[in-house]
Amino acid sequence: MSTGNKYEENPEVTARFPDIHPPFDKSGATIEANRCLYCFDAPCTAACPTHIDVPRFIKKISQGNLRGSALTILDANILGASCSRVCPVDVLCEGACVYHRYNKQPIEIGRLQRFAMDAFYRNGAVLAAKTTERRAGKVACIGAGPASLAFAAELRQRGFSAAIFERKPLPGGLNTYGVAEYKLRASDSLREIDLIRELGVDFQFGRNISGEAALAALEREFDFIFLGVGLGKIRLLGIPGEELPGVVDALKFIEEYKTGRNLKVGGRVVVLGAGNTAIDAARAAVRLGAQDVQIVYRRDESSMSAFLFEYEHAREEGVKFRWWTQPVKLVGDEKKISGMECMKVEMDGQSFRHLPGSHFTIPCDMVISAIGQSPLLEFLQACRGVKLENGRVSVDRATGQTSHAKYFAGGDCVNGGREVVDAVADGKRAALAAAQLLEKIHG
């Protein structure tokens, strides 16, 4: 099988997407670490989905035990390095910091976490196995996104065998292909995954698992199967002109710039949707040279699903927002899109009402659709005995086990699309439950 992971960083991408949160230097980190109160049963730890012992790792930074700090982080969260950069900390750990009630800035937990993890990588990045035994018991993961990585790494560290089947050439899922480059470089995501490979997790790339037969084969070979497939493509717009050249799926757009395959954006860009993905796509378009970037949304900022800080950053970068606007038709010829016909809407109770006579056209050269990902229904329905609910895999929250005893699941395919750290937490919880069962099965 392909070993994957041949990845060359594109200098142009690096230049256009510089780090948004520059790292701490040593004295900055020490001063910030010393500000932490070392709360008992700390609320920041409770708010972190992976329950990283935040005061413990911060105290270790202030005391110069950087390896201990990194291992404290990794023990709870194997993707501690990428999480430190991509987590929406304002609504997670930092949002829960007691300093908010103390009229002071919360502790910069994310940046401190990054400081410890950067030091870990600088010093050779050696992960401690939790046991040296190689034990009977094999698991397979479908998809090499954060959820599967956490699941496989935890079981591998406990001595079980783990294989990951991924359809793409590189591991990491959206952490590698989707997260904005100024937060996390694809190369940093891959570097982190090398650690998991070194634990002895078997990565198989270019393996698109589909259909009952393929699943049945896995069921025969492995004790448990973990579904970490994430979500699918962006939903269709369902309006005429959708197939015109210049109309792209936000995920594809982001993946293409991150992998350096397409770095040219010119002219006027319209982004549809108002979630974090829409914001990421819009900001990327600005950085890639678009003259004008507008986000078009049929409600207003109060019902936008993007985090407030993401919205504010986008505005600072020059992205414009057009509220109460619904696209009705994309216009252009077979070579190129030229505009988007819209109309104004308003809320009438729970539904939208079109404002008569409000039709207008936004001239544009590119439309990026970011109206939300659809579930991978076709694949999931082939997992027979695995119950779905609204297109999401339904699991026991504490164990990640599905209605089919052989299947566990976690990440976006279960929670409907949250964050990397949620996927890691799901994967890890499931791994702990699976480990208990494997011990029972194999003694």
Partner 1 sequence: MVERKTTPNLSVNLAGIVSPNPFWLASAPPTNCGEQVMRAFDAGWGGAVWKTIGDPIVNVSSRYSSVDWNGQRMMGFNNIELITDRPLEVNLREIAEVKKRYPKQAVIASLMVESKREAWHTIVKQSEDAGADGLELNFGCPHGMSERGMGSAVGQVPEYTEMITGWVKEKARTPVLVKLTPNISDIRVVARAAKRGGADGLSAINTINSITGIDLDTFVPRPNVDGKSSHGGYCGPAVKPIALNMVQQVQSDPEAKLPLSGIGGVSDWRDAVEFLLLGCGNVQVCTAVMHYGYRIVEDMADGLANWMREKGFANISDFQGLSLARVQEWKHLNLNYKIVARIHEEKCIGCELCYTACWDGAHQCIHLDRAGQSNGHHATPAMHEAESKQRISMTPIPKLDHATASKGKEPYPTPLSRIPRVDEAECVGCNLCSLVCPVEDCITMEQVETHLASQSWEQRTSGAATLGRKND
Ligand X SMILES: Cc1cc2nc3c(=O)[nH]c(=O)nc-3n(C[C@H](O)[C@H](O)[C@H](O)COP(=O)(O)OP(=O)(O)OC[C@H]3O[C@@H](n4cnc5c(N)ncnc54)[C@H](O)[C@@H]3O)c2cc1C
Q: Summarize as ranges the residues that interact with ligand X (CB under 6 A).
A: 86-87, 142-148, 165-168, 173-175, 178-179, 183, 207-210, 228-230, 251, 254, 276-277, 280, 376, 379, 411-412, 418-421, 423
Among 36, 16, 195, residue whose Cα is nearest residue 106: 36
In the list 10, 62, 69, 77, the residue contacting ligand SF4 (rule: CB under 6 A) is 77
Q: Is 315 exposed, middle or buried (0-12, 13-18, 19+ CB in 10 A)?
A: middle
What are 295's strand-pairing partners? 271, 321
User: Does 161 engage in binding with partner 1 (CB under 8 A)?
Assistant: no
Query: Which does residue 308 bind out of ligand SF4, ligand X, partner 1, none, counting CB within 5 to 8 angstroms by kind?
Result: none
Q: Which amino acid is at 109?
A: I
User: Does 61 engage in binding with partner 1 (CB under 8 A)?
Assistant: no
Q: Which two tokens stand for residue 246?
A: 């210049």
Q: State how far the Cα of 290 lies from the Cα of 21, in Å rounded to an integer.
A: 24
The H or E element that residue 210 is part of is none
| Phi–psi pair at 366, nearest 5 degrees | -155, 140
Q: Which amino acid is at 306?
A: A
Query: Which does residue 54 bind out of ligand SF4, partner 1, ligand X, none, counting CB within 5 to 8 angstroms by kind?
Result: ligand SF4
Query: Which does residue 441 bind out of ligand SF4, ligand X, partner 1, none, counting CB within 5 to 8 angstroms by kind?
Result: none
CA R_g for the chain: 23
* Cβ within 8 Å of residue 85, ≥6 positions away: 21, 110, 114, 183, 184, 188
Query: Which does residue 84 bind out of ligand SF4, ligand X, partner 1, none, counting CB within 5 to 8 angstroms by kind?
Result: ligand SF4
Nearer to ligand SF4, 53 or 202 (CB): 53
The H or E element that residue 378 is part of is helix 377-382
The H or E element that residue 327 is part of is strand 325-332
Which residues in 91-150 contact ligand SF4 (CB under 6 A)? 92-93, 97-99, 107, 109-110, 113
Nearer to partner 1, 107 or 271 (CB): 107
Contact (Cβ atoms closer than 8 angstroms) between residue 288 and residue 265:
yes
User: Does 265 engage in binding with ligand SF4 (CB under 6 A)?
Assistant: no
What are 224's strand-pairing partners? 139
The 45-74 site mask, x for binding ligand SF4 (CB under 6 A), equals: ---x-x-x-xx-------------------
Query: Which does residue 153 bind out of partner 1, ligand SF4, ligand X, none, counting CB within 5 to 8 angstroms by kind?
Result: none
Q: How far is the CB of 146 from ligand SF4 (least distance, A)?
A: 11
Q: What's the angle, vertex CA 7, arms to CA 6 and CA 13, rounded to 5?
A: 170
| Phi–psi pair at 184, nearest 5 degrees | -140, 125
Q: State how far the Cα of 356 lies from the Cα of 358, in Å rounded to an integer.
A: 5
Q: How far is the CB of 12 from partner 1 (least distance, A)?
A: 32
User: Does 47 engage in binding with partner 1 (CB under 8 A)?
Assistant: yes
Judged by the rule CB under 8 A, the positions of this chain that interact with partner 1 are 30-31, 33-35, 37-41, 43, 45-49, 51, 62, 88, 91-92, 98-99, 101-102, 275, 305, 397-398, 415-419, 421-422, 425, 429
Judged by the rule CB under 6 A, the positions of this chain that interact with ligand SF4 are 36-39, 42-44, 48, 50, 52, 54-55, 77, 83-84, 87, 89, 92-93, 97-99, 107, 109-110, 113, 421
